[in-house]
Structures are given as C-alpha cells and as structure tokens.
Structure 1
Amino acid sequence: MLVCTTVVQVVCSVFAVENEEEDEPKVCQVCGDRATGYHFNAMTCEGCKGFFRRAMKRPVNFSCPFRGVCIITKNNRRQCQACRLQKCRSIGMLKELIMSDEELGQRRRLLERRRKRAEPVILSTQQEAVIQELLNAQKKTFDISFVHFTHFRPIDRTLAPMQQYRQTCQETTTNTWPSDIQEASLPCSSSSSPCSSSSQEVKPEDSCGKDRAFTTLPHIADLSTYMIQQIISFAKMLSSFKELSIEDQISLLKGATFELCQIRFNMLFNESSGMWECGPLTYCMDDAARAGFQPHLLDPLMKFHYTLRRLHLDDSEYVLMQAIALFSPDRPGVTDSKTIDQLQEMLALTLKTYIESKRTSPKKHLLYPKIMGCLTEMRSMNEEYTKQVLQIQDIQPEVPPLMLEVFSKIT
C-alpha cells in the first residue's frame, strides 16, 4: 500500500513539473526574447527565425567589428549580424530545414484550405436574393398540383404501346420498374400491364403500328404546351434573363425547355411506382411510348428520372438546377455568351455553396457533381428529343405550333 502511494506521488510530481514547464514562458536561445516555438531545430523568436532564413537564402559574408565576441540580446541583435548568425548556428539551427519559396507557397495554400474548411460556409446576401427570386418565379409559374390544367384532350390508353414499360397508372403503389433501372428496352409481354385508365380496356389485338403509336399524342401535346408556357413565364420573371437581348432569350429558351420540363417533372416523379403524379393526373412512360417516342430516348430518360429523384433535392436545389440549365452559353444562336457564362458560373457557385451550407450529410460534397452530371446527361437527350418530335410531326401532324417553334432548330 505504501509503495502504491509513493508511485502515485511520484507520477503527480512529474505532471506538476511538466505543467510548470508548460506555463513558463519560452526564451529565444539566440537573443533572449520571447520564443514562439522550434524553428529550424532550435527554440527561437520570430525575429531570429526570419533573420536565419534570410541569411541562408541570400548568403552574405558578415564581419564583426568587435572580434566576434558580441553578446546577442534582444536590444542589440541587429547591431552585429555576424555574431547573431554564429549564435544561430551554435544552438543547432539548420539550413537544410528551410523550405523553398515553392514549398512555402504550397504550405500557405494548404493552411488556407484548412482554414476555409474549418470556417462555416454561409450564403452571401446576393446568393440568398438569387435563390429567393428563383423560388418566387417557380411558385408563380409551376402549377405543381395541375389544378389549372383543364383544357386538354382526354388521354387515350385503349391500345397497348408498341414499347411497354410494365406500368399501370391505376396501381401507383407497386414498384413496376426494375430496381437496377435497366438500360435495355423492355420487351412487350402478354403478362405485363400497360398503363391504362379505369374506364378503358386495352385492345392488344390491334396490331396497327401507326394507330398504336399515337393514341396519347393529342393529350401529351396539350400537356407539353402547358408546361412550355409555364417555363417561358418562369424565365421572363428572372431579372438576369430580361436583361438579355430578345435573340438570346429565344435561343436560351429553345435550347433549355426540354431540360427544364424534365427537372420540373422530376419533382412529381414517384420512384416507388415509376409514375409522374401531376395532381389528379397520373402518367407513366408507356404514355410517351403511345405518343410515338422511341426507346432510345425513353430508356435513358427513365433512368435519368430515377437517378435525379434519388438525390432527394429540395425546392432550392431544383430551381437552381433549372437556372443553370437555362443560362447555358453554348446554346445555338447565343450571341452574348460571355455574360451568360458569367451568370451560369454564379448560379453554379450558389448551388455549391447552398449544398455546403444547408446539407449535413458527410457525403454532401458528392451531391454537387452528381447534379452537374444529371445536367450533362439531359443535354445528351435534348437533341434526340427534338429529332423525335420533328419525326412525329412528319408522320402525325398533332404537334402544336408552340412545340414546333420551341424545338425547331435555330438557323
């Protein structure tokens, strides 16, 4: 028991000595000033640290006027550089530990990055105003419940499409799309249930490809026109958009309408059922197939909606995504590409800052590149969609004038 007590006392005394040493002020071994730590292998002040670095980087033959026996102190350390340098060497300061200018730059940049990561990321006043303007425009121009979508031709699902996606609009609680989102088109199967309404029956015996391909086209055309009108109104509410020339406004809208439509439709997409729930109306990919669109557009489009929906974006992220797509400087016909490029860069930075400041997941840094990847994927589908719209118009002239105007090529 006595031995244990003695050991405890010794340990406590050691800690006490260490704490006393830590509390004692450190003294520069060169001049006696207050030291700031070990520099180049010796305990020195900032002044002697800087002196040694400068002397080693620009070697000069210092000479002492007092036979090299000067006593270096805080007050006289600048009077004899030769003796001060000799004192630096005598206490063990090493030239080899001095970093080059390039290494110092790298270290400063690393410290700056660490400092920025440590600081909380917040949106600037300008960025908050941009987001608020976009949200206000979205609220006023996106009929998310489709209560005002009333003047349309009824959707005709009496015929099974030539390309089926195994969906039934009546059964919106079942997972009707493969979990791995197959890239290959799904074959038409007698056991699969096409998207159908409650008051109509599917007539699989009808084998006329032409009739089968365009049964839902009138309704889809009305729906597309309704969405396009809202997107045009959305763009016209943005101050940055209104400041552009009419020619550039038209070019941006013609280039981005498909992408903005898909982003808005994604907000209504139910990833459990693979359906788009537009208020009282429900749509599936079979409806697009019945309208005449082909699998090499519909298959990647379906995959895109699953991919984007699974990011679980909020309204601000969705609306910033729309704005980034709208202000694309490389659209055909754009003249003031520099201004539009600056706007897009500002919006992209706002989205990145918003994610960093609002999201709490440890993987939040992955969200921004995933969103940008979805935007890139939509660009690849945009041209194919335009091509298929024009092909449908050539075969079945049901495409309304507004759609043709928006999706016609700029010459």
Structure 2
Amino acid sequence: MQCQSDGESSSSGSSSTTTSRRGDVDLEGEEKICAVCRDRATGYHFHVMTCEGCKGFFRRTVIKGVQFTCPFTRSCTITKAKRRQCQACRYQKCLDVGMRKDMIMSEEALRLRRALRRQKQHPEQSPPDVWEPPEETSLTAEQEQLIEILTEAHKKHFDSTFAQFSHYQAPVRLHIHSPGSRSPLDPVLPPLCPFNPQDHFESDTEEVLPDVFSMLPFFADLSTYMIQQVIQFAKEIPSFRSLPIEDQISLLKGATLEICQIRFNTVFNEETNTWEFGEHCYTIQDGAMLGFQQLYLETLLKFHVTLKKLRLHEAEYVLLQALVLFYPDNVNVVQQDEIDRTQEQIALTLKTYTDRRHPLPEGRFLYAKLLLLLAELRSLKVENTREILRIDQDLTSMTPLLSEIIS
C-alpha cells in the first residue's frame, strides 16, 4: 500500500517507515496505529502517524476553516467506530497528538505537484500555462461574512482623508472602569479646536519650517486620533466584543501601533514616498523633525514601499488588521484558546482570499510574503515605542491614551 498520496505526508526516515505489503506493520512487526482514532495507520501525515481517514478529515477542516461545536463536554472518546460522532473532539484530538496545520499545502501547490508528477510520467505532455483558481479555494459563506464585517468596520472607523481629525487632549486611560461607568474602550475626548495643518507649517505672512516643539503636540494629537479609530474598529468585531474586557485591553495594547501602520499604508504613495491625507501629505523628513532616528525612518519607509508593491485589495488590508489584533503571543490573555481560534479563522480566510483573487505570477507566495512583513512590523513596533520614549518622555503625558498603549 502506498503510504503517501496527493495529500501532504512526511516521513521521518525510510528505516522507520518501511512497511509490509499490508501497509500497517513495519519490518520489526510493530503495528502502525493512528494516533487519533487507533485505526490502522498508513504513514506519517502532517507530522503524526495517522490513518487516511483522519489525515483527510484534518486537512479538510483546516482548509475550509470549519468551526465545530461539541454537543457534550468536549471530552468525547475518539475511536475508529466513534470518530464521526463528534467532529469537534476529533479535530481537537488531531491537534493534541501534534498534527501541524502549517504542513498543509494549498490546493494550488497540490495541483502543481500533481502536474509535475504527470509530466514526469508523460514527458511529452506539458503542464498548462494558464492559471485557473481551483474551486476548492473559494471563500466559504462564513469567510465572506467575516470580510464583510471587517470591511464595514474599517470604512466606518478609518477616515483616510482625516477630514474629521481634531486636536485632542486625552483625559482617559484604557484601564479606567467602574461599575456603571463608560467602558474603558469608549474614550470620549473633547475636541479643542478644528484640525488645520497650516497652523503647524505656515504663518500668516510666510512659510516657516516646523520645529520639534510645534510638531510634538501635533504628533501626540494625531496618535490619539488614530488610536481611537482602532479601538472603535476592534469593537465592531463580534469575536472581539465577546472577550473579557481585560483581554480586549491586552489585545489592543499589543496591536494598536501595528494596525496604525497598516492603515497608514493605504494612504502611502510609493511614487513620491509620502503619506497623503486628503490635501495634505507627510514624509519621513517630518518624522526626522520630530526627532525619530534616521535608521528607524528608513526601515519604516522600506516596509511601506514593500507592502504597497503587493497591491493588496481592501479585504486583505482589513484581514491583516484583524490578524494583528488577534495575536496573543506577546500579551497576557485569559481566553487564549478562543483568541487562537479566531486568529486561525482570519489567517485561513486571508490565505484563501489571496490564493483566489491574485492570479500568477502576482499571487505567487503572496500569503507567505504577508506573514514575513507582519513579523517585520512587530519589530518596527518595538522600535517605534523606543523612539517615542526616547524623543520626549513628557510626550506621553500629553496623551494618556498613547501612554497606556505603549506601556
């Protein structure tokens, strides 16, 4: 029996996986048992010795992003006879025994591998040149709904022209909360005066260069405004609202600065290397005037140029924001499992979307490139925090909301 099919399988070594003709007993006479259901195993699949049934079940579940619910106590016994009775516990058992989601190949990769196999068997036949997205990568109704929710929240709480921006002093903190009071995620900051960038860049008679003393208050106010918008965006997401308030605050503190950078990229002009907010634009030179170090600014600019060149759709931008939001690794949260499940759902939706909506060669490795950029973005957030604190430690006192985010 062949141990590896078109689905992804891996072997830890030829000596340890050599089988008899039955395929379920190795040369030493040790029976191969599925780690999930105890049925006869056919080999290592996704890092674990499993049967074909559990291999296929795990792959379908991950690819389609299905969310199962156990009708009992989430402790069902999984055996060959009972494995179909509770899909939720069967999937959890797959994870518990060590099956790895990152080893699952996309439908496109599988299709290309099959084409290469056919080409080796029949060299006279060439693989097709035209890319056609496989039907299996179509977005599910649940994924379409997720994108719709995130897109609506983004449009509602991101003012790309900054027409609604007003200067703010931030008198509230994220953690202030008492019975019957407003939620700490509902900061209401009174506008002091309408936003007019000319106040910072021109006098009544002649144009003047802004100095750090005039730019710092502006930067503090702008940061507060952006943070507010991210908070409101997060609160529009049902899976975020359902979390305990402590987890909501932790996730926001861990992700807000990164989400702001993703939003800034939507208004970035790669031809002029400027960020355009309606009629106004800013460059890294403005950041230098604030006191940000040149090395950090150059790294930041490179990030935005690289991300912009990927030509992301609006749906991909909003999915990236949500993916960053539900990233609990660097913060303390109570409902870790629930947050992990939400992040997994968002990640699978993003991968399916990129595979489906970007034809080759544009879409080649696009999802992998996004993951690498997110890792770079996390490093930039750390440097950004250091730079803010280095520039002026009194800056955070101008906006307690910013201070709370970077604490």
Normalising to structure 1: TM-score of the pair? 0.58
Secondary structure at 2:330 match in 1: coil
Distance 1:318 1:200, change over 3 A: same
Query: What letter matches 1:346 in structure 2?
Result: Q
Q: 2:147 aligns with which of 105, 115, 131?
A: 131
The number of equivalent residue pairs is: 266
CA distance in 2, matches of 1:352, 1:197: 52
- Runs of at least 5 residues in structure 1 that lack an aligned partner in the other structure: 1-54, 59-99, 159-195, 204-211
Secondary structure at 1:364 match in 2: coil
Name 1:374's counterpart in structure 2.
Answer: 373
Contact persistence 1:227–1:261 (CA under 8 A): yes
Distance 1:293 1:197, change over 3 A: farther
**1:253-292 → structure 2 map (5 Å cutoff):** 253-292=252-291
Secondary structure at 2:329 match in 1: coil
Secondary structure at 2:207 match in 1: coil
Secondary structure at 1:282 match in 2: strand
1:124-147 alpha-carbon deviations (Å, 9 max, x no partner): 000000000000100110111222
Contact persistence 1:271–1:309 (CA under 8 A): yes
**1:384-395 → structure 2 map (5 Å cutoff):** 384-394=383-393
Contact persistence 1:127–1:350 (CA under 8 A): yes
Query: What letter matches 2:154 in structure 1?
Result: Q
Secondary structure at 1:379 match in 2: helix
Contact persistence 1:157–1:197 (CA under 8 A): no
Matched, 1:250 2:249: yes
Secondary structure at 2:320 match in 1: helix
Query: What letter matches 2:259 in structure 1?
Result: L
Query: What letter matches 1:306 in structure 2?
Result: V
Distance 1:253 1:199, change over 3 A: farther
Name 2:344's counterpart in structure 1.
Answer: 345
Contact persistence 1:330–1:337 (CA under 8 A): no
Matched, 1:156 2:200: yes
Query: What letter matches 1:350 in structure 2?
Result: T
Q: 1:142 aligns with which of 153, 158, 161?
A: 158
How much does 1:57 deviate? 5.6
Matched, 1:200 2:207: yes
How much does 1:380 deviate? 0.5
CA distance in 2, matches of 1:396, 1:325: 26
Secondary structure at 1:156 match in 2: helix
Q: Decide which moves more: 285-294 or 309-318.
A: 285-294
Q: Decide which moves more: 266-275 or 335-344.
A: 335-344
CA distance in 1, matches of 2:204, 2:246: 43
Matched, 1:300 2:299: yes
CA distance in 2, matches of 1:321, 1:292: 29
Distance 1:335 1:297, change over 3 A: farther
Secondary structure at 1:277 match in 2: strand
How much does 1:345 deviate? 1.2
CA distance in 2, matches of 1:368, 1:130: 18
Secondary structure at 2:345 match in 1: helix
Distance 1:198 1:241, change over 3 A: farther
1:262-314 alpha-carbon deviations (Å, 9 max, x no partner): 00010000000011111122111111221222224212111101010111111
Contact persistence 2:247–2:334 (CA under 8 A): yes
Query: What letter matches 2:312 in structure 1?
Result: L
How much does 1:360 deviate? 1.9
How much does 1:334 deviate? 2.1
Q: Decide which moves more: 349-358 or 212-221.
A: 212-221
CA distance in 2, matches of 1:197, 1:118: 62
**1:40-79 → structure 2 map (5 Å cutoff):** none
CA distance in 1, matches of 2:205, 2:313: 33
CA distance in 1, matches of 2:310, 2:21: 56
CA distance in 2, matches of 1:363, 1:223: 35
How much does 1:213 deviate? 4.1
CA distance in 2, matches of 1:376, 1:197: 45
Contact persistence 2:220–2:395 (CA under 8 A): no
Contact persistence 1:271–1:306 (CA under 8 A): yes
Distance 1:103 1:329, change over 3 A: closer
Name 1:239's counterpart in structure 2.
Answer: 238
Secondary structure at 1:200 match in 2: coil
CA distance in 1, matches of 2:355, 2:396: 48
CA distance in 2, matches of 1:101, 1:352: 29
CA distance in 2, matches of 1:316, 1:56: 50
Contact persistence 1:301–1:381 (CA under 8 A): yes
CA distance in 1, matches of 2:296, 2:378: 12
Distance 1:118 1:216, change over 3 A: closer
1:314-347 alpha-carbon deviations (Å, 9 max, x no partner): 1000000000000002132222222111111110
Contact persistence 1:216–1:288 (CA under 8 A): no
Contact persistence 2:137–2:352 (CA under 8 A): yes
1:33-75 alpha-carbon deviations (Å, 9 max, x no partner): xxxxxxxxxxxxxxxxxxxxxx9769xxxxxxxxxxxxxxxxx
Query: What letter matches 2:279 in structure 1?
Result: P
Distance 1:197 1:123, change over 3 A: farther
**1:310-389 → structure 2 map (5 Å cutoff):** 310-389=309-388
1:15-49 alpha-carbon deviations (Å, 9 max, x no partner): xxxxxxxxxxxxxxxxxxxxxxxxxxxxxxxxxxx
Normalising to structure 2: TM-score of the pair? 0.59
CA distance in 2, matches of 1:197, 1:299: 33
Query: What letter matches 2:313 in structure 1?
Result: D
Contact persistence 2:397–2:403 (CA under 8 A): no
CA distance in 1, matches of 2:402, 2:395: 14
Distance 1:197 1:324, change over 3 A: farther
**1:31-46 → structure 2 map (5 Å cutoff):** none
**Over aligned residue pairs, what C-alpha RMSD do you find?**
3.4
Name 1:47's counterpart in structure 2.
Answer: none
